[in-house]
Each structure stands twice: as C-alpha cells, then as structure tokens.
Amino acid sequence: MDDRWESEVIEYGAINITGFRIVDTTKKYVKDFLEGWKRLDPVSSQGAGRESISAQAALMYDAVFVLVEAFNKLLRKKPDRRGQFVINGSKGLDCNASSGRVTPWEHGDKISRFLRKVELEGLTGEIRFSEEGRRQNYTLHVVEMTVNSAMVKVAEWSDQNGFTPVAAKYVRPASHIERNRTYIVTTIVEEPYIMLKKPEAGEILGGNDRFEGYCKDLADLIAKKLGINYELRIVKDGKYGAENSEVKGGWDGMVGELVRQEADIAIAPMTITSERERVIDFSKPFMSLGISIMIKKPVKQKPGVFSFLNPLSKEIWVCVIFSYIGVSIVLFTVSRFSPYEWRLLHLTGEHRDPSGQMGNHNSMANDFSILNSLWFALAAFMQQGCDIGPRSISGRIVGAVWWFFTLILISSYTANLAAFLTVERMVAPINSPEDLASQTEVEYGTLYHGSTWDFFRRSQITLYSKMWEYMNSRKHVFVKTYDEGIRRVRQSKGKFALLIESPKNDYINEREPCDTMKVGRNLDAKGFGVATPLGSPLRDGINLAVLSLKEGGELTKLKNRWWYDRTECKHGDKQDAARNDLSLSNVAGIFYILIGGLLIALVVALMEFCYKSHSEATRAKIPLSDAMKAKARLTIGVGRDIDNGRYYTPANQIAGSAEQEQAHSNTHTQV
C-alpha cells in the first residue's frame, strides 16, 4: 500500500480498497524522519519532498542502517590489528590466489554473525533477525480506504500473533445540528406520500397532524433519529423542481425553496438527478424505482364455446385429423393385403352382399372395410372398445402404434385441460416499451417538466429517443399532474399509456376502481432521496438515518403499510377458490357437439329408413307408403315377429318353400 503515494490513491476514494502498510506514521521516530524527508530536494534525492515514503524506500533505508550498525560493532572488536583487514598497505583479501582457487574471507563469517545480532528501531518497525538470518517480530498494518479517501487502520498482522483486528480510529466529525430550533420541511401533496388527513367528528387538526402518508411517517422517523423538531409545509407552486430563469435562484418548486434557503429539508417523492445534485444535496435513496408503463386493465376474455380445444394448438389438431385418416387408410390397406384378415362364409341359399351383387354359397369376407377401419381408429382415439379387431400381425402393429399415439396425446391433453379452462386470460395491447414505441394506435405521455420528461429529453438510447420524438411532436400527450394522466388512462378505453414512476404505478393499481395495471419492465433505475441545501449540517445525519432505517426494515414496513395493507382491490390469489370452477361457457362446445351429433344421427336414421323402405318397395313391387308403414310398425315395436318378406309379397305369390322364406327374412337386418 505504501508503494502508491497518497495523492495518487485519493482518486479511488469511492472504491473499497484494503491493503497492508509497513511504515507506522504514528511513531515519533518516523514522524521526525518524514519532517526531514519532506524538506529534502526531490532532484538530488529521488522520492523526497513528499509527506510519505514508499515501502521500498523505507526498507532500503533500514537495510543501510543495519549494515552500518553491524560494521560499527565489528570495528569495535578491532579485527585489523594485524594489518589484514584493510587493503591499503596491508595484506588484505587476495582475490587472485596463486593456488588457483578462491578462499573465503576470514572476516566474512564474523560480519554475517554481527548482521544477525543487529537490533534497532527503523522506519519499518522493530528490526531483529533469527539465527537463519530471517527478519522476525515485525508488524504489518491492515488499512482500508474510507469514502473521503482517508486510510484507516483496521487490523495488524505479525509473525508471532498473526491477524489481530483493531478498532478503527476514524471517527466521523460531529455535525453541528441545532437541537433548539424547528426545521422547515417542504413537501408536496401526492398520494400516498403526503395526504391531507381527514379529521374525526369534532376533531381539530393542526401542525404536522394535518398530514399523513409515507413521507410524513418517514419525516417522523428521521426527526426521531436526529433528535430535532420540524414543521411540514406544502411547496407554494406545487412543483418538484426544475430550472426556471424567471424565478429567484433559477429553480422552482421544492428545489428552488432549498436553493433560496426557504426550507431546510425536502422530504417528498423527488427523484435524485444530476441536474438537481448540482444545486442541492441528496441523501442515500430511501426508495428505489424506475419509469414504468401504466395502461388501462384489459377486460378479461371469456372462454369461447370451443375453449376445450385450447390445450392443443391448431396445428396439432390438424395433424391429429390427418393422422386419423392416414391410420384408417393404412389399416384398410394392410387388411386387404393380409390373407389373415379374410374369412370364409358358409351360406345357405342365395346371398346378396352390401353392394347388391348376388354371391355364392361360399363367400370370402373382410371385416375392415374403409368404414369399419375409420370406426376402429375413431374408437381407439376416443379410448373406447370396438366389436372388431385386426387378426393379422401387420394390422395389430397398426393398431398398437395408434393406441400408443392416442395414449400420449390424450394424457397430454388431459394434463393441460384444467389449466386452460379455469383461467380467464387478459390480453394486454402493450407488453413492453418496444411494443409502445413500435405502434401509434395507443398514445403515451408523461408528466410535463418532471424527472421522467427530462429522462426522455436527454436520453441517447435509440428506443427512448424515438419515444421522445413521438411525445414531443404531440404536445397534448403531456399532462400537468399525475391525477390528470391517470384520469386519461382510465377514460381512454385502452388508447393512452402513462409513463410514470413505478411506486406511483403500483399504488394506483391498488386503488379503486382497480382498472389500471403496470406492464413491462422498468425503463431505468433511480431513487427518491431526502434533499437539503448544499453544505447543510443535516446532510450526514439524514444520510445515516436513512441507511439505518433501510437496514432495520423500517422503510419496507412503511411501503407495505401505505401500498399493500390499504389495498382496495381483490387479487386473484385471495379470492374464493370457487372462482376457478368450470362454467357453462367453458364447456359449451362439447354440448354443441353432442347435440349436433344426435341431430345428425336422427337425420341419418331417417335417411336409412326412407332408403330401406324404397328398396323393399321396389323389390316387393308394392307402394312406397305401404313399405314405410310396415317399417314404421316395426320401428314402434308392432309386428316385430312378422316376416318382412311375407308382408311385402302378395299372398298368391308366396312360395311355400322354407328356403325361399329364409332367403327373404334377413333383408331388414343387413345394412
């Protein structure tokens, strides 16, 4: 840490830096040295002329003094009394031995021993060496950099005791807050931050008791932390604060009152911005927020009569239909080719097949006609049984894969059906800032000359610049107050969106008539702060109070109290579970299909009745009305034991042969 001068480190004051320092500047010996070091000429003495010394220079300085101290002790022993220590006029040290090898200096070991015995106090602390020549009993100081770039000692490290934390010696300078005066707190009326309190019957409110809200409670907590008295006052012009050359001080609103020293503190939903920070001081943010989008809540869409089809997409339903037809055709084809699907019929007398052709007494039959194949596939899809089944291996393979397909499909459909039928969906026209900027049907605006207005005006981001150009070209989208903007959102029938701070958006969405909602992400990140005039002695105290309230959870409790505990809207997760019961509108489609199927069945039955009556009348050569009457009597249960053939054929033409009677007795049952 000492290798970097203080003047170079100070620029990193906002960064959390921890380092080691070996030079203890609090010791008198070090202070005296630094006084002389500072007076030296930096041209002749490198690194001099500064108020501190680097660790490298301090260690070099101590090393020289260790050598000096060791040689002084050695010379006191007079090792040169035989003329063998110095070079001039003495034997000295022969570096060019005639023997061809270099021998150690006889005094080298003595010097090494004297170096290890040196003990002194240097710039880097106590200097002492072990028998192996390693330094011991030295101390390193662990330091941290504070927000004002001061180096604070937080711990010590020594080779004997290791790491030892110490209490930081840095103490924040006491702020000179006057306790015997009443501070003026300017604010602005805006729900739920500051509201005029409604008195009870016969109650007279005065002073700060006239107000209630989040900022009122926050002011009480801060005043309690600081031990001061305050008086709440509503800002005269009803503005937050923007540059205005027409007013004294160049700023209007609450910012202007602080600039002109008309107020001591501003506690309101005032956004911390760089422009305002130039003329006033802000505390740490007591609430984090961002610009959000408020729109009118769309009407919940009632489920359609065919909403039971929603668990599967249209593409899947189309694929299912084609799969059903394809399976039926493949089953019909393999049944035709496979000999195991054909069976021999032994008939007595003549046999007429469904096509009207006369067959022999011995005939081949196949159960899987195209209609029966369609019926088998439909029965399997509906998880029902069927009176026919494939006999061949190929037919059974077709049936098996179709059963597996329908098993997975029906299981997936059933799993999603409940979720789709019990949820009423809201389709918002806008879901993100990108949606808002890419259309012109829904207008959008913000508070005129507010922080949001200033954000869009100054933004260099392409999306937000595009939104600013749209709003600036349509001045009517700007509103003078948030109440006006919220009213426009509610009355616009979904054709106006308000760009508003997220806390205000959340609060309005919890108030009756509960017809607004927040959509999309926040467009930026910023915060509300408590403002004071530049250089105010209250600034540091308010800063610490806000941080303490945030860490203690008091600010979270305040927000819950004024936002969510006082909600006037019912949320879906709090309503009665009966709300999710299926209604008739959810499943009306299946009733329509049932009724339609029954009607179609009746129509088909009537057509079969007419067709069969016509066929019998033609065969028996009788009037159609007589044939229909006979069929009608059979339908209502009269004469079921009467042979149809005997009725249609005149009595004088009826043969007495039993075989002929048998040939005509099955004409009604074969369809």
The band of 569, judged by pLDDT with boundaries at 50, 70 and 90, is confident
**Domain 307-421 falls under CATH 1.10.287:** yes
pLDDT score recorded for residue 623:
87
Of the listed ranges 143-152, 318-327, 330-339, the one predicted with least confidence: 143-152
**Is the pLDDT higher at 664 or at 18?**
18
Residue 360 has pLDDT above 60, yes or no: no
Q: Which tens digits make up the pLDDT trace of 172-183?
A: 666 678 888 999
Other Cβ atoms within 10 Å of 193 Cβ, number: 25
Residue 242 belongs to what H/E stretch?
Answer: none
Residue 669 has pLDDT above 60, yes or no: no
What is the dihedral sign for C-alpha 499, 505, 511, 514? Answer: positive
What is the reported pTM?
Answer: 0.51
Other Cβ atoms within 10 Å of 651 Cβ, number: 6
Report, as an integer, the average pLDDT of 656-668. Answer: 40
- Please give the Cα distance from 349 to 361 (Å, whole number): 6
Domain boundaries, the chain: 6-165, 175-290+526-582, 307-421, 425-524, 589-664
**Is the pLDDT higher at 85 or at 243?**
243
Cβ contact 10:29 at 8 Å? no
Cβ contact 358:411 at 8 Å? no
**Is the pLDDT higher at 340 or at 80?**
340
Cβ contact 319:313 at 8 Å? no
What phi and psi values does residue 265 have, to the nearest 5 degrees?
Answer: -145, 150
Q: Which tens digits make up the pLDDT trace of 118-150?
A: 888 888 888 888 888 888 888 888 887 765 556
**Domain 6-165 falls under CATH 3.90.79.10:** no
Q: Which of 155-159, 306-310, 467-471 has the highest mean pLDDT?
A: 467-471
Start-end of H helices in 260-308 = 274-277
**Residues of each annotated binding site for L-glutamate:** 269, 271, 276, 451-452, 501
Q: Which tens digits make up the pLDDT trace of 479-538?
A: 988 889 999 999 988 899 999 989 999 999 998 888 899 998 999 888 999 999 998 999
Of the listed ranges 369-378, 424-433, 589-598, the one predicted with least confidence: 589-598
The band of 347, judged by pLDDT with boundaries at 50, 70 and 90, is low
With a CB cutoff of 8 Å and minimum separation 6, the contacts of 551 are: none
Q: Which tens digits make up the pLDDT trace of 593-615?
A: 657 766 776 777 678 778 888 88
Q: Which of 240-249, 306-315, 541-550, 625-634 has the highest mean pLDDT?
A: 541-550
pLDDT score recorded for residue 174:
60
* Average predicted confidence (pLDDT) for the chain: 79
What letter represents residue 553's amino acid?
Answer: G
pLDDT score recorded for residue 533:
94
**Which CATH number applies to 425-524?**
3.40.190.10
pLDDT score recorded for residue 576:
44
Q: Give the rounded percent of residues in the chain with a pLDDT score beyond 90.
A: 26
Q: How many residues does the chain have?
A: 671
**Residues of each annotated binding site:** 269, 271, 276, 451-452, 501
Cβ contact 309:593 at 8 Å? no
**Is the pLDDT higher at 228 or at 652?**
228
Report, as an integer, the average pLDDT of 148-156. Answer: 74
The band of 664, judged by pLDDT with boundaries at 50, 70 and 90, is very low
Query: Chain centroid to CA 34: how far?
Result: 56
| Topology (CATH level 3) of domain 175-290+526-582 | D-Maltodextrin-Binding Protein; domain 2 (3.40.190)
Report, as an integer, the average pLDDT of 446-455. Answer: 85
Q: Which tens digits make up the pLDDT trace of 22-46?
A: 888 888 888 888 888 778 777 777 7
Closest CA to 339 of 281, 403, 395: 395
For residue 101, give both structure tokens: 């090898």
Residue 648 has pLDDT above 50, yes or no: no
The C-alpha angle with vertex 326 and arms to 325 and 327, in degrees rounded to 5, equals 95
Q: Which tens digits make up the pLDDT trace of 54-100?
A: 888 888 888 888 888 888 887 777 665 554 555 444 455 555 555 55
Residue 621 has pLDDT above 90, yes or no: no
Domain 175-290+526-582 matches domain 425-524 at the CATH topology level: yes
Report, as an integer, the average pLDDT of 572-588. Answer: 51
Report, as an integer, the average pLDDT of 397-423. Answer: 81
Contacts 24+ apart (CB under 8 A), 648-653: 648/616, 648/617, 648/619, 648/620, 648/622, 649/620
Residue 197 has pLDDT above 80, yes or no: yes
Q: Which of 283-287, 427-431, 638-642 has the highest mean pLDDT?
A: 283-287
Residue 363 has pLDDT above 80, yes or no: no
pLDDT score recorded for residue 168:
53
The band of 5, judged by pLDDT with boundaries at 50, 70 and 90, is very low
